[in-house]
Structure 1
Amino acid sequence: MSLFWRVFLLNAAVLTAATALLVLSPATVSTPVLPAEGLILVAGLAAMLVANAVLLRIGFLPLRRLTRAMTTADLLRPGARPPVSGHGGIADLIKAFNAMLDRLEIERATSNARALSAQEEERRRIARELHDEVGQSLTAVLLELRRVADEAPESVSTALHQVQETTRDSLDEIRRIARRLRPGVLEELGLASALKSLTGEVHGVAVRCRIDGELPALGEEVELVIYRVAQESITNAVRHANATRIELGVRVDPSEVRLRVRDNGKGIGSAPEGAGIRGMRERALLAGAVLAVEDAPGGGTDVKLDVPIRGGSRR
């Protein structure tokens, strides 16, 4: 039955009941209307309106649930669906909305996978150029400075040695940037070594890394998701949360791998999620993982990533 006919029949039932009550009751209406008769009419009208409102509220209750689902739907937090209830058009409307969410989540996951794959490829390209071109050019400059400094007078040699140190520091920084863009350790030694290397590159903040259990073969994309979420969490803690202590932990359960990154910074509070956290959520969707970013007890931020173990093999 369509929504139109449901509303029509509800109103018709109320009006029919009111008419039957008026016909069967001993109440009469005079001209002009007496005060007692007026009270009876007002009471009947009020009863009819209340009954109509109650019946319509019950009938439209599934639509209210659907409205709440529409206003709270978030494709970065998939899975929530309003229950299919009601009759006729209302149930069909809820089914259509759920089917639309299914399509949108699939399309978003597909587009995110393509976008993140292109992003990673661009990271690798930039990292190669930094290492192969800029790095080699700076190395050549460093060698030439050393040769000139050895042949230059002492007054000039001192200044050239200072330029050498500056160039060497720049070369080291370029190599660090290249490693962050393209985690070669992840490709060569695996996720556990990459996470330990990641925490070892943080300066000025006490970072502890603990991995409980032997990590299973998760596959290239899933390992990259875990690494990037850990990397973004540490970066946010250092740059934005003013943290002085970070704890990174990985625990292997029979059905999933749990990543935890906790810091003692200022936390996230009620601030809206930035691009970094949204990026982590999009990456988590690629691995079918569940991501939670919340204020940690006692202050700071607690990032939790639960990745299901679906099998896989290393390259």
Structure 2
Amino acid sequence: MEADSPAVQALNRRIDELMRQHAALLTQLQQDQRRTRHLARSVWRIEEEARRRIARELHDGVGQNLVALMRQLDTITAQLPQSAGEGRDGLRRARELVQTTLDDTRSLSRLLRPQILDDLGLEAALRWLARSVDGVQVDLSLPAEMPALDDEISTLLFRVTQEALSNALRHSGARRIAIGIEIRPRAQSLRMDIRDDGRGCDIAAALAAGRDSQGSGLGGMRDRVDLFDGKLDLHSVAGKGFNICIELPLRKTARSEP
């Protein structure tokens, strides 16, 4: 074979150089994506830890102080003579105010980070969440034996469920919501489906609205699932409800060794 001309050789060298540059840029991009994902997971972890600390302080600190204050008010009331009607009424109103503050404090604590999630795990937390919804029937279907999930995955699934229930109550007009978790050993994955029988929505519009703090938050939900190499699919038909489907690699759910 005849040797390639100098021009062809120069072109081949240029192509090889461009391919090397492309491979280097691709490697750099992959490294940047891993670093960005690691940073995002760290930020999310710090946020959840802050939620946990504040929730416990509200429950164990402020909450217990309010309980002690109510007991003090009860003690003072019991020591007043029956003739001190005005004083008793004032103490009763004060106790009612403290009770309302205590209820609000406990609600805020559960909203920030329900203690049951940390103490009893995801299954108990989901059952509590399903029972706490008013005005909508929530059906929960869980595996007979839930695999051991690490704290981050449990928190992710709980937060997605919490957000989905909030969206359904605020936007869908649903009367029934079904939540199911399925373990797929062959695919080594976990699948969660959340379906409601509400009015449905335009997916693109819902994702766009999620950029606003008053929106559905579906975009943020997708971003959080992506942090754990998961996949989130959204399906909706007008008048036929809304479906959120999440798939997570099961290998990511094993508890890490100490």
TM-score by length of 1: 0.63
Question: Which residue of structure 2 aligns with residue 224 of structure 1?
Answer: 155
Aligned residue number for residue 274 of structure 1:
210
Give, in whole Å, the separation in 1 of the partners of 2:47 and 2:221. Answer: 14
Alignment pair present for 1:138 and 2:79 = no
Would the alpha carbon gap of residues 197 and 126 (structure 1) be closer, same or farther in structure 2, given more than 3 Å must change?
A: same
SS at match of 2:245: strand
Counting only pairs closer than 5 Å after superposition, residues 28-39 of structure 1 correspond to structure 2 as none
Q: Hey, what's the Cα distance between the residues in 1 that align with 2:149 and 2:244?
A: 20
Whole-Å Cα distance in 2 between the matches of residues 94 and 294 of structure 1? 37
Distance 2:199 2:18 in 1: 46
Q: Which amino acid aligns with 1:189?
A: L
Secondary structure class of the residue paired with 1:217: coil
User: What residue number does 1:245 align with?
Assistant: 176
Alpha-carbon distance in structure 2 between the residues aligned to 1:199 and 1:268: 23
Question: Is 1:128 aligned to residue 56 of structure 2?
Answer: yes
Selected match of 2:243 from 296, 302, 315: 302
Q: For residue 48 of structure 2, what is the amino acid of its counterpart?
A: E
Which secondary structure state, in structure 1, belongs to the residue aligned with residue 142 of structure 2? Answer: strand
Distance 1:251 1:241, change over 3 A: same
- Gap change, CA 1:302 and 1:100, over 3 Å in 2: farther
Counterpart CA distance in 1 for 2:243 and 2:25 is 34
Aligned residues between the structures: 232
Partner of 2:255: 313
- Separation in structure 1 between the aligned mates of residue 137 and residue 90 of structure 2, nearest angstrom: 35
| Aligned counterpart, 1:116 | 44
Match of 2:40, SS state, is: helix
CA gap 1:166/1:251 in 2 versus in 1, 3 angstroms: farther
Look at both structures and tell me which one has the larger radius of gyration over its CA atoms.
Answer: 1
Task: Give the Cα separation in 2 of the matches to 1:192 and 1:165.
Answer: 35
Gap change, CA 1:239 and 1:144, over 3 Å in 2: farther
Q: Give 2:214's aligned residue.
A: none
User: Aligned match of 1:210 in 141, 146, 149?
Assistant: 141
Structure 1 residues 242 and 96, CA gap change in structure 2 (3 angstroms): farther
Which structure has more relative contact order (CA 8 Å, sep 6+)? It is: 2
Match of 1:70 in 2: none
Q: Gaps (5+ residues) in structure 1?
A: 10-86
> Following the alignment from structure 1 to structure 2, what is the Cα–Cα distance between the partners of residues 295 and 264?
10
Counterpart contact for 2:230–2:247, Cα < 8 Å: yes
CA shift, 1:155, in A, is 5.1
Provide the C-alpha distance between the structure 1 equivalents of 2:175 and 2:16, rounded to a whole number of angstroms: 59
- Residues 162/215 of structure 1: CA separation in 2 closer, same or farther (3 Å cut): same
1:97 positional shift:
5.8
Q: Does the CA contact (< 8 Å) of 1:267 and 1:300 recur in 2?
A: yes
Percentage of matched positions with identical amino acids: 33
Partner of 1:261: 194
